[in-house]
Amino acid sequence: MSNKSILIIYTGGTIGMKQNPETGALAPFNFEQILEEVPELKKFGFTLDTYSFTPPVDSSDIAPDFWVSLAKMVEKNYHEYDGFVILHGTDTMSFTASALSFLLENLSKPVILTGSQLPIGMLRTDGKENLISAIEIAAAQRNGQPLVPEVCIFFENQLFRGNRTTKHNAEHFNAFRSDNYPVLAEAGITIKYNFGAIHYPTQARELRVYEKLDTSIAVLKLFPGISENVVDSIIGTKGLRGVILETYGSGNAPSRPWFLTKMRHAVEQGIVVLNVTQCHAGSVDMEKYENGLKLKQVGVVSGKDLTYEAAVAKLMFLLGKEGDNALVKEEIVKSISGEITL
**Catalytic site residues?**
14
Neighbours of 21 (CB within 10 A): 7
Strands (DSSP E) found in 69-200? 83-87, 104-105, 111-114, 141-142, 145-146, 151-155, 158-161, 166-167, 176-177, 185-187, 191-193
d(CA 140, CA 158): 15
Strand partners, 19: 26
Half-sphere exposure of 77 (CA within 13 A, CB side): 20
First to last CA, the chain: 37
Judge whether 292 and 253 are in contact, CB under 8 Å: yes
The phi and psi torsions of 85 (rounded to 5 degrees) equal -120, 120
Strand partners, 187: 191
d(CA 269, CA 320): 18
Q: Name residues whose C-beta falls within 8 Å of residue 210's C-beta, 6 or more positions apart in sequence.
A: 71, 102, 103, 105, 317, 320, 321
d(CA 62, CA 76): 21
Cα distances (Å, whole numbers) of residue 49 to 35, 42, 71, 175? 10, 12, 17, 27
d(CA 176, CA 178): 7
The DSSP call for residue 38 is: -
The DSSP call for residue 145 is: E
